[in-house]
Amino acid sequence: MPKANKVGIVTSNKMNKTVVVSVERLVQHSMYRRAFKKTSTFMAHDEENQCQIGDRVRIVESPPLSKRKRWRVTEIVRRSAVYEQAAPEIDAVDAAGSTK
């Protein structure tokens, strides 16, 4: 049986080597037949701590890595526009040292 793949958006990266990914799916109501969105959150392993909030990532099933972590980040599909704009400013601060 192949491993499941999902594509979602990173909502939190505050943990070390772990990100929270929100995956939306379209579901049809059983009686009214109206389509609506449902969101599921998954904790995924990010080995290099590369993911930023707002990135669209692909995650794949894996054996349990911790109590709640059963997914791994395989690729970053699209970077967040907010992070791309702030990246040059962050690099300039890092090069200059402290901001004081």
Domains of the chain: 5-96 (2.40.50.140)
CB distance 8 to 43 below 8 Å = no
Task: Please give the model's pTM, rounded to 2 decimal places.
Answer: 0.78
Q: From residue 6, give the alpha-carbon distance in Å to each of 32, 60, 85, 88, 96.
A: 27, 7, 27, 31, 40
Q: What is the pLDDT of residues 58-98, one digit of tens each?
A: 999 999 999 999 999 999 999 988 766 665 665 555 556 65
Q: What is the pLDDT of residues 16-56, one digit of tens each?
A: 999 999 999 999 999 999 999 999 999 999 999 999 999 99
